[in-house]
Amino acid sequence: MLNIVIFGAPGSGKGTQSENLIKKYNLAHISTGDVLRAEKAAGTELGKLADSFMSKGQLIPDDLMIDILASVFDQKIKAGDCKGVIFDGFPRTIPQGVALSEMLEKRGQAISAVVSLDVPEEELIERLINRGKQTGRNDDNYETIKARLDVYYNQTTPLKELFEKEGKLYSIEGVGSVEDIFSRISSVIDKVK
Protein backbone atom coordinates (compact mmCIF):
# COMPACT_ATOMS: atom_id res chain seq x y z
CA MET A 1 0.00 0.00 0.00
CA LEU A 2 1.07 3.52 -0.81
CA ASN A 3 0.62 5.70 2.28
CA ILE A 4 1.43 9.33 1.54
CA VAL A 5 1.32 12.11 4.10
CA ILE A 6 0.74 15.50 2.50
CA PHE A 7 2.20 18.00 4.88
CA GLY A 8 2.18 21.79 5.03
CA ALA A 9 0.84 24.93 6.63
CA PRO A 10 -2.80 25.99 6.39
CA GLY A 11 -3.30 27.23 2.84
CA SER A 12 -0.31 25.36 1.43
CA GLY A 13 -2.51 23.52 -1.08
CA LYS A 14 -2.77 20.13 0.61
CA GLY A 15 -6.44 19.70 -0.25
CA THR A 16 -6.10 20.76 -3.90
CA GLN A 17 -3.12 18.53 -4.55
CA SER A 18 -4.73 15.60 -2.71
CA GLU A 19 -7.75 15.74 -5.03
CA ASN A 20 -5.46 15.34 -8.05
CA LEU A 21 -3.27 12.69 -6.45
CA ILE A 22 -6.13 10.37 -5.48
CA LYS A 23 -7.20 10.21 -9.14
CA LYS A 24 -3.75 9.66 -10.59
CA TYR A 25 -2.67 6.97 -8.11
CA ASN A 26 -6.05 5.48 -7.13
CA LEU A 27 -5.73 6.44 -3.48
CA ALA A 28 -8.31 7.10 -0.78
CA HIS A 29 -8.30 10.64 0.63
CA ILE A 30 -8.40 11.17 4.38
CA SER A 31 -8.73 14.87 5.20
CA THR A 32 -9.21 15.20 8.94
CA GLY A 33 -10.41 18.80 8.44
CA ASP A 34 -13.12 17.55 6.04
CA VAL A 35 -14.11 14.79 8.47
CA LEU A 36 -14.56 17.34 11.27
CA ARG A 37 -16.43 19.83 9.05
CA ALA A 38 -18.81 17.02 7.98
CA GLU A 39 -19.48 16.22 11.66
CA LYS A 40 -20.18 19.90 12.30
CA ALA A 41 -22.54 20.09 9.31
CA ALA A 42 -24.39 17.00 10.56
CA GLY A 43 -24.77 18.64 13.98
CA THR A 44 -23.24 15.72 15.91
CA GLU A 45 -21.78 16.06 19.42
CA LEU A 46 -18.33 15.44 17.93
CA GLY A 47 -18.96 18.18 15.37
CA LYS A 48 -19.94 20.66 18.08
CA LEU A 49 -16.89 19.82 20.14
CA ALA A 50 -14.59 20.01 17.10
CA ASP A 51 -15.99 23.39 16.09
CA SER A 52 -15.22 24.84 19.50
CA PHE A 53 -11.52 24.24 18.72
CA MET A 54 -11.55 24.85 14.96
CA SER A 55 -13.26 28.24 15.16
CA LYS A 56 -10.41 29.44 17.38
CA GLY A 57 -7.69 27.93 15.18
CA GLN A 58 -6.77 25.39 17.86
CA LEU A 59 -6.16 21.67 17.44
CA ILE A 60 -8.61 19.00 18.51
CA PRO A 61 -7.01 16.96 21.36
CA ASP A 62 -4.65 14.23 20.18
CA ASP A 63 -6.35 11.21 21.80
CA LEU A 64 -9.68 12.05 20.16
CA MET A 65 -8.08 12.79 16.79
CA ILE A 66 -6.07 9.56 16.84
CA ASP A 67 -9.22 7.48 17.48
CA ILE A 68 -11.06 9.26 14.66
CA LEU A 69 -8.18 8.70 12.25
CA ALA A 70 -7.97 4.96 12.93
CA SER A 71 -11.68 4.45 12.42
CA VAL A 72 -11.80 6.53 9.21
CA PHE A 73 -8.75 4.64 7.89
CA ASP A 74 -10.37 1.25 8.48
CA GLN A 75 -13.63 2.40 6.85
CA LYS A 76 -11.82 3.69 3.74
CA ILE A 77 -9.75 0.54 3.35
CA LYS A 78 -12.82 -1.67 3.71
CA ALA A 79 -14.88 0.45 1.33
CA GLY A 80 -12.74 0.46 -1.78
CA ASP A 81 -10.10 -1.15 -3.91
CA CYS A 82 -7.68 1.77 -3.49
CA LYS A 83 -3.91 1.32 -3.76
CA GLY A 84 -3.28 3.35 -0.61
CA VAL A 85 -4.16 6.49 1.27
CA ILE A 86 -3.36 10.20 1.26
CA PHE A 87 -3.27 11.61 4.77
CA ASP A 88 -4.17 15.31 4.54
CA GLY A 89 -4.09 17.30 7.79
CA PHE A 90 -2.87 14.38 9.93
CA PRO A 91 -0.46 14.10 11.69
CA ARG A 92 -0.25 17.61 13.13
CA THR A 93 1.65 16.89 16.36
CA ILE A 94 4.46 14.57 17.41
CA PRO A 95 2.06 12.22 19.29
CA GLN A 96 -0.13 12.02 16.15
CA GLY A 97 2.96 11.21 14.06
CA VAL A 98 3.97 8.40 16.40
CA ALA A 99 0.39 7.12 16.49
CA LEU A 100 0.13 7.06 12.69
CA SER A 101 3.26 4.94 12.33
CA GLU A 102 2.01 2.58 15.06
CA MET A 103 -1.46 2.31 13.54
CA LEU A 104 -0.02 1.44 10.13
CA GLU A 105 2.48 -0.99 11.63
CA LYS A 106 -0.32 -2.86 13.42
CA ARG A 107 -1.93 -3.33 10.02
CA GLY A 108 1.31 -4.49 8.38
CA GLN A 109 1.85 -1.15 6.63
CA ALA A 110 4.08 1.92 6.84
CA ILE A 111 4.29 5.55 5.73
CA SER A 112 5.72 5.57 2.20
CA ALA A 113 6.59 9.27 2.03
CA VAL A 114 5.87 12.61 3.64
CA VAL A 115 5.56 15.36 1.05
CA SER A 116 5.97 18.81 2.56
CA LEU A 117 4.65 21.78 0.58
CA ASP A 118 6.75 24.84 1.36
CA VAL A 119 5.00 28.19 0.89
CA PRO A 120 6.05 31.61 2.28
CA GLU A 121 3.88 33.00 5.06
CA GLU A 122 2.68 36.12 3.15
CA GLU A 123 1.34 33.89 0.38
CA LEU A 124 -0.39 31.55 2.85
CA ILE A 125 -2.20 34.47 4.48
CA GLU A 126 -3.28 35.88 1.13
CA ARG A 127 -4.60 32.51 -0.08
CA LEU A 128 -6.53 31.87 3.13
CA ILE A 129 -8.10 35.34 3.20
CA ASN A 130 -9.26 34.79 -0.41
CA ARG A 131 -10.58 31.31 0.39
CA GLY A 132 -12.52 32.74 3.38
CA LYS A 133 -14.16 35.26 1.04
CA GLN A 134 -15.12 32.56 -1.46
CA THR A 135 -16.16 29.68 0.79
CA GLY A 136 -17.17 31.42 3.99
CA ARG A 137 -15.07 28.97 6.06
CA ASN A 138 -15.33 30.44 9.54
CA ASP A 139 -11.67 29.82 10.37
CA ASP A 140 -10.40 31.74 7.31
CA ASN A 141 -10.37 35.19 8.93
CA TYR A 142 -7.22 37.13 9.79
CA GLU A 143 -7.20 36.50 13.55
CA THR A 144 -7.85 32.77 13.27
CA ILE A 145 -5.38 32.40 10.40
CA LYS A 146 -2.67 33.90 12.64
CA ALA A 147 -3.57 31.42 15.41
CA ARG A 148 -3.46 28.48 12.96
CA LEU A 149 -0.07 29.54 11.65
CA ASP A 150 1.28 29.78 15.22
CA VAL A 151 -0.04 26.29 15.95
CA TYR A 152 1.56 25.06 12.73
CA TYR A 153 4.99 26.52 13.50
CA ASN A 154 4.96 25.46 17.17
CA GLN A 155 3.24 22.08 17.16
CA THR A 156 3.36 20.72 13.61
CA THR A 157 6.75 21.66 12.12
CA PRO A 158 8.68 19.60 14.75
CA LEU A 159 7.29 16.56 12.89
CA LYS A 160 9.55 17.40 9.95
CA GLU A 161 12.60 16.48 11.99
CA LEU A 162 11.03 13.16 12.99
CA PHE A 163 10.29 12.21 9.37
CA GLU A 164 13.64 13.55 8.18
CA LYS A 165 15.39 11.18 10.60
CA GLU A 166 13.36 8.30 9.21
CA GLY A 167 14.41 9.31 5.66
CA LYS A 168 10.76 9.88 4.68
CA LEU A 169 10.62 13.66 4.23
CA TYR A 170 10.48 15.20 0.75
CA SER A 171 10.22 19.00 0.63
CA ILE A 172 8.62 20.52 -2.42
CA GLU A 173 8.29 24.14 -3.44
CA GLY A 174 4.56 24.84 -3.04
CA VAL A 175 4.41 27.99 -5.17
CA GLY A 176 3.73 28.24 -8.90
CA SER A 177 0.94 26.69 -10.94
CA VAL A 178 -1.12 23.84 -9.50
CA GLU A 179 0.09 21.67 -12.42
CA ASP A 180 3.77 22.38 -11.75
CA ILE A 181 3.42 21.60 -8.06
CA PHE A 182 1.48 18.44 -8.95
CA SER A 183 4.28 17.22 -11.21
CA ARG A 184 6.86 17.85 -8.45
CA ILE A 185 4.80 15.76 -6.04
CA SER A 186 4.21 13.06 -8.66
CA SER A 187 7.93 12.62 -9.20
CA VAL A 188 8.38 11.95 -5.47
CA ILE A 189 5.56 9.41 -5.47
CA ASP A 190 6.90 7.70 -8.59
CA LYS A 191 10.19 7.27 -6.75
CA VAL A 192 8.70 5.64 -3.65
CA LYS A 193 5.88 3.56 -5.12
Interface residues toward ligand ATP, by CB under 6 A: 10-11, 14-15, 32-33, 36, 53-54, 57-60, 65, 89-90, 92, 96, 139, 148
Residue type, 58: Q
Smaller CB separation from ligand ATP, 67 or 191: 67
Q: Is 156 annotated as a binding residue?
A: no
Smaller CB separation from ligand ATP, 82 or 132: 132
Q: Is residue 169 within 8 Å of 116, Cβ to Cβ? A: yes
Least CB distance to ligand ATP at residue 141 (A): 12
Least CB distance to ligand ATP at residue 60 (A): 4
Separation between Cα atoms, residue 51 and residue 43, nearest integer Å:
10
Least CB distance to ligand ATP at residue 25 (A): 19
Contacts of 61 (CB under 8 A, 6+ apart): none
Q: Is 107 annotated as a binding residue?
A: no
Least CB distance to ligand ATP at residue 124 (A): 8
Q: Is 60 annotated as a binding residue?
A: yes
Q: Is 11 annotated as a binding residue?
A: yes
Residue 133: phi and psi, rounded to 5, are -65, -40
Separation between Cα atoms, residue 143 and residue 168, nearest integer Å:
33
DSSP secondary structure letter of residue 153: I
Q: Is residue 163 within 8 Å of 114, Cβ to Cβ? A: yes
